[in-house]
Structure 1
């Protein structure tokens, strides 16, 4: 004899499933509404004048310095996994570090083909087997308009203090036998106080010249994942 749930017994389970699905849908709805409000309320910053912190940027995606291609179709692209790329808004450029981002690429390729297998130790893909596998490739293409929401930071070319750099230069020169001999005037294998002072002054002058040259260089801007739980979006 076959047994099963009676209509009256199935009704509570169906109701519970409906309530669970409704709760999930409600959470998703409020999540999307919250995201929409964040995006609407956030003014668009310009890279050249953007404040440090959480910002919205809109510009053109540009590939990294080394050519980058999608793994299967070998299409030139800007973003793959954690590979950094550029964002340009005509006022400046910033590096986009996509690690931890929600990426919603606007370009998509869909097709059927053989099974894709990653060749060990490379980023190359080998296609094998039948053609019944369905693929969708999401791409951020070079020159494509990109909306980015994340943490903006400007890195000064002078990260360390002059005192720290001089101290490190002195230590490096003292540890270098050739440099050490160049300051050891009497060739006794030791640096006297006068010889050490000459080394220190020479190191300070070299560091000061290098810092002046670096100070003239533009800052490096980076957009990355916020340290808190705020949205990091690339689309």
Structure 2
């Protein structure tokens, strides 16, 4: 077989294709493993009620809303939502005549989501989450930076630019699997003296302001007595801040786990729906890895 292809394919090209197939086999096998792991995690962990949820890794299902002091609108269409992700791509034709998409602009919402269920509520910090949105719109147009808000019905069949917007709706169900923490206004683990030292270090970064505020003898520098006055002012400010923070209510937040556990959000889905989605992803990844693995074996047999 190699002798038949020797006039068209060099040995270097053959090794390159083998390396590429090996890499893609690994990537998709890894995707299969991760998706299967997520599916099993979803099926095994019990769903908690917010009022009784324990600190640590939890699974919650409730209705999602925007926090009272926030406004969330999707960037392309201006549609009110709880979470969004968008991308603007341009279609280009390479020297070989093949078309490819290049991303020009993209973004993801980082505003916390308010989750309510069974008499309780908490915030979900979406940063770092694997999100399965309930709504996905794709349409084409002729502008790299179109005027906004856009109308998805203004679709141009042969437009060079592809717009993608994903959203989750206010009031719909939200599946959450992540790490639950409870925060108070006072930073956890912060001592009074440590807070004073941090505040003084912050003041020292602006020497001009520090001298202007505490240089009582106007000699352009801070002496020991003036530094002690600065320390006393810092103590007073920190004490007042801690009194205010102690009066603030505790806030429950679900965020990305620090130990590498899956952090998943699913718009409109139940536990069964989410597990089915991840098992489908696992099956697709396994199929693709088998194809690349078969190609790798075929190429190995071509080596002279």
TM-score, with structure 1 as normaliser: 0.64
1:168 pairs, out of 184, 198, 202, with 198
Partner of 2:157: 130
Q: Does residue 99 in structure 1 map to residue 128 in structure 2?
A: yes
Matches of 2:52 and 2:235, distance apart in 1: 33
3-state secondary structure, aligned to 1:57 = strand
1:67 pairs, out of 72, 83, 86, with 72
Partner of 1:87: 114
Taking a change above 3 Å as real, the CA distance of residues 92 and 170 of structure 1, as seen in their structure-2 partners, is same
TM-score, with structure 2 as normaliser: 0.52
Query: Shift in Å at residue 206 of structure 1?
Result: 1.0
Q: Deviations over 1:168-201 (max 9, x none)?
A: 3334445454553443333333444333222211
| 8 Å Cα contact 2:82-2:168 kept in structure 1 | yes
Bigger relative contact order (CA 8 A; separation at least 6):
2
Q: Does residue 151 in structure 1 map to residue 182 in structure 2?
A: no
Partner of 1:13: none
Query: Shift in Å at residue 97 of structure 1?
Result: 0.8
Taking a change above 3 Å as real, the CA distance of residues 196 and 144 of structure 1, as seen in their structure-2 partners, is same
| 8 Å Cα contact 2:181-2:253 kept in structure 1 | yes
Unaligned runs of 5+ in 2: 1-27, 86-107, 267-304
RMSD, matched Cα: 4.1
Taking a change above 3 Å as real, the CA distance of residues 205 and 118 of structure 1, as seen in their structure-2 partners, is farther
Partner of 2:45: 42
3-state secondary structure, aligned to 2:157 = strand
Which segment drifts farther, 142-151 or 59-68? 59-68
| 8 Å Cα contact 2:75-2:149 kept in structure 1 | no
Unaligned runs of 5+ in 1: 1-23
Count of aligned positions: 204
Partner of 2:219: 188
Taking a change above 3 Å as real, the CA distance of residues 69 and 117 of structure 1, as seen in their structure-2 partners, is farther
Highest Rg: 1 or 2? 1
Matches of 1:57 and 1:222, distance apart in 2: 12
Matches of 2:181 and 2:261, distance apart in 1: 16
| 8 Å Cα contact 1:170-1:203 kept in structure 2 | yes
